[in-house]
Amino acid sequence: MHTIYSDGNRTPLAICLHSLGLGFDFMSITDHDCYEGSLEAIAKVKESNIDILVLPGEEITVRKNETVNSHGNGHMLSINANKSIENQRTDSAIYAKELEDIAENIKNDLVGKEIDPLNYARNIWAISKVKEANGIAILCHPNWIYHNGKYHLNQPIYKELLKSSKLDGVEVIGDINKTEENNNMGYLTYIEIKDKHKYLSPLANTDAHDIDHNARERFTMVFARDKTAEGITDAIKAGFTCAILRRENGEHQFVGKSDLSHYAYFLVKEYFPKHKHLKHKLSQLYLDEFINGECYESKINVTKSRLENHTNSFFMNF
């Protein structure tokens, strides 16, 4: 999700409150080449004791200083890294040398694949820096058609990243110019590679730039051992996710392993309606506190207790 720190229209706190109101248990601010928005979100949520987990994040423009045209390198999400990725390439000379070294090391592996080693090196650099910062790397909107009519991400590079890189996940459902064809292409590619190469977690990302960006239509269900940053990122790395798209007619599309998708369907129908209702009530109570300058701690605690009871009725015996 994006905020006023890049091309979003709302503050980090506003995006967090809206996400809570949609029923999200966790989310990540991922401003373009900017880590500070997510840090502000985490600080504000902690300061106000808001019941949503915010993971630090950043959407990396793989080709630095890309402007109008697509050069085939795409974007990468850094989630829960302990430092900014963009800030690690402020020294252009060091960055260029690191790219050259990577390109030299991988060029023999790319012979005959119609992939420029330096272009591919930019992606490997981004993934490596995310990993060094103990984050997870997610390839986002791989089938986005950019302004010049070309794929934003070179498709041979895309296939090679799915096959041989250290990605943790790939976005198969997202908001790409409001066209569902791109989601279908992402889904088809996922089906093509999931049994051939390393299994990568499929994700549905909101890519929201405002609170009216239909964020509830695209979300990822993560089957984590607990609601902590470590629990969630470990589950994503292990492939325990289901990407979900809510269609206009109210039906859902599920992308993930068969057993997880069936379980996700059950939860969407039976667990999440009440869960979302209570989360929305919480978000309104927090908002009322900010607007009225009053404390609604008692009402908030009652709602949290109802949420806990609802959750325990589904999960405490597992």
Tokens 């506003």 belong to: 14
Q: What is the pTM of this model?
A: 0.92
pLDDT in tens, 80-121: 999 999 999 999 999 999 999 999 999 999 999 989 999 999
pLDDT value for 276 = 96
pLDDT value for 315 = 83
How far apart are the C-alpha atoms of 164 and 150, rounded to whole Å? Answer: 24
Residue 252: pLDDT band with limits 50, 70, 90 = very high
Q: What is the mean pLDDT of residues 66-91?
A: 87
pLDDT in tens, 177-202: 545 556 666 666 666 666 666 788 99
Residue 261: pLDDT band with limits 50, 70, 90 = very high
Q: Are 153 and 187 in contact (CB under 8 A)?
A: no
Least confident of 31-45, 52-66, 267-281: 52-66
At residue 98, φ and ψ (nearest 5 deg) are -65, -40
How far apart are the C-alpha atoms of 214 and 207, rounded to whole Å? Answer: 10
How far apart are the C-alpha atoms of 126 and 102, rounded to whole Å? Answer: 11
Answer yes or no: is pLDDT of 174 > 90: no
**CATH code of the domain made up of 12-270:** 3.20.20.140
Given phi > 0 = left and psi -120 to 50 = alpha, else beta, which region is 169? beta
How far apart are the C-alpha atoms of 93 and 113, rounded to whole Å? Answer: 28
pLDDT in tens, 125-163: 999 999 999 999 999 988 888 777 788 889 899 889 988
Least confident of 18-27, 214-223, 259-268: 214-223
Every domain of the chain and the residues it spans? 12-270, 275-318
